[in-house]
Structure 1
Amino acid sequence: MEPTIILSILGGIIVVLLLVGAPMKPIHFLGQGLIKIMIGALLLFFLNAFGTSFDLHVPINLVTSSVSGFLGLPGLLALVVIQKYIL
């Protein structure tokens, strides 16, 4: 598809949402999820920054950020164990 068509469709959706209004519950849920994924990426960044002295590196991507963001420190420790002993 051409970029002009995609931008036109997105613009139309934005105009419709502004006129009609979006339900706040799904938007709030998506916002919380995105914040948790960003917190998970930040945790992985600090783990990689301080883990270099222990020869530890966990890649930062959507899956690992989601695991560490939604599960917190237990998820981060699980990623470390998986990286160290399984992979």
Structure 2
Amino acid sequence: MHIQAIWLWVAVVVVVAFLIGQFFRKPGQVAWLILRSIVIGCLFVFAVNWIGSYIHFHLPFNPLTALTAGFLGIPGIVALIAMQLWVFT
């Protein structure tokens, strides 16, 4: 395994441990943050699909795209669009 991959996994474990710790400290606040992010992400994906219908572009509508769009906002939407155009075409 490469050194970069090990550091990536260490970073993922640290972030997940932090999120789990925050969830047990303030479960209602974290649940509200996740729910709000999902709703905002759904609205972003819906808007992209609505505008994209004019140029025959479609983002898949699933929990992963909604969470990505919700947590990352506009940069997340741009990343999803770039992945759709670059990787999945």
**Both structures adopt the same fold (TM-score exceeding 0.5):** yes
**TM-score normalised by length of structure 1:** 0.69
> What are the residue-to-residue correspondences of 1:7-86 with 2, within 5 Å?
25-86=26-87
Measure the CA separation in 1 of the matches of 2:29 and 2:87: 36
Question: What do you get for the CA RMSD once the two structures are aligned?
Answer: 1.5
Matched letter for residue 39 of structure 1: I
**Unpaired segments ≥5 residues, structure 1:** 1-22
- How many residue pairs get aligned? The number is 65
**TM-score normalised by length of structure 2:** 0.68
How far off its partner does 1:24 sit? Answer: 7.7
Q: Which 4+ stretches in 1 moved above 3 angstroms? A: none
